[in-house]
Amino acid sequence: MIDFHMHSCFSGDSDAPLEDQLLAALGQGLDALCFTDHLDYEYPDPEVDFILDTKPYLFQIARLQERYSKQISVYAGVELGLQPHLGNFYSSYCKSWPFDYVIGSTHLVEHKDPYYPEFWASHTTRSGVEAFFQVTLKNMKAHDCYDAYGHLDYINRYIPRDYPAFSHTDYMDLIDGCLRHLIDKGKALEVNTGSFRSGLSFPNPGPEILRRYKELGGELLITGSDAHTPAYVGSHFSETYALIRECGFSYLTMYQQRKPIQIPL
């Protein structure tokens, strides 16, 4: 089992030391982990610092790689908060640092994070989700520096409980556009179990989108917990791996020095 999405105290929204996250991964019996701390350039909330201090971050990961080399494979990654106008910025950032793996994520729609209730004050489920997938497709097209797209239906975690629920069928054209783009460009689709913490009973994205991705010819799936604390490292992996198999996939993908490696499930 591989957890290729987790945060540490190098992210503005986590206090977990890198080593505590690694020890949790060992405790869960994981085979490999990749740290993917946040870089969200021009994030609108001044209370949270999402600028990654990249040099000491990579230095500390290298020390852990050495110290734990006999027990677990440790990789260095980053989660980029994409926005359509940041293509050049992120492209030169990624060229400057020796990451193994880069996640591209949509966290912002119209400069607002749907994580916050303020986003929903001016949106219905329909308008919020549509705007989210529209900007996701724009992000995918404006950037080429990512290996996988993170939590494709991230917004589903934060739709207010008293709003109509998300149904993928209402947005299939937009979702198809995103999936086809990833497949055409050889980018992977992440299966993110952070969704369970928000009360969902399936990963982001869920089984319908995973099946659709397979139907369209998608083959590159990568798993991540999005853990910001040790308690969530590798969480819900057994059921998620079973679900991935049920959806027809027989391989997972991981990345080393930005190159995909296929692992049989």
- Report the interface residues with Zn ion, using CB under 5 A: 79, 105, 226
Nearer to Zn ion, 191 or 265 (CB): 191
Nearer to Zn ion, 169 or 194 (CB): 194
Q: Give the shortest CB-79-to-Zn ion separation in angstroms.
A: 5
Q: Give the shortest CB-70-to-Zn ion separation in angstroms.
A: 28
Nearer to Zn ion, 3 or 79 (CB): 79
Nearer to Zn ion, 153 or 226 (CB): 226
Nearer to Zn ion, 199 or 264 (CB): 199
| Residue 165 to residue 247: CA distance in whole angstroms | 23
Edge-to-edge strand list for the sheet holding 148-149 = 2-6, 32-39, 73-81, 101-105, 148-149, 188-192, 221-224
Q: Give the shortest CB-174-to-Zn ion separation in angstroms.
A: 19
Rg of the chain, C-alpha, whole Å: 17
Q: Give the shortest CB-215-to-Zn ion separation in angstroms.
A: 26
The residues, ordered by sequence, that sit 6+ positions from 47 with a Cβ below 8 Å of its Cβ are none
User: Does residue 179 contact residue 213 with C-beta atoms inside 8 Å?
Assistant: yes
Query: How far from 36 is each of 78, 141, 216, 225, CA to CA, in Å?
Result: 4, 22, 28, 11
Instruction: State the distance between the two ends of the chain, measured CA to CA, in whole angstroms.
Output: 9
User: Does residue 21 contact residue 226 with C-beta atoms inside 8 Å?
Assistant: no
User: Does residue 226 contact residue 234 with C-beta atoms inside 8 Å?
Assistant: no
Q: Give the shortest CB-131-to-Zn ion separation in angstroms.
A: 17
Tokens of 124: 């219905």
Classify the C-alpha dihedral 188-193-196-202 as positive or negative.
positive
Nearer to Zn ion, 200 or 248 (CB): 200
Nearer to Zn ion, 79 or 153 (CB): 79
Q: Give the shortest CB-22-to-Zn ion separation in angstroms.
A: 17
User: Does residue 31 contact residue 70 with C-beta atoms inside 8 Å?
Assistant: no
Number of C-beta neighbours around residue 14 at 10 A: 17
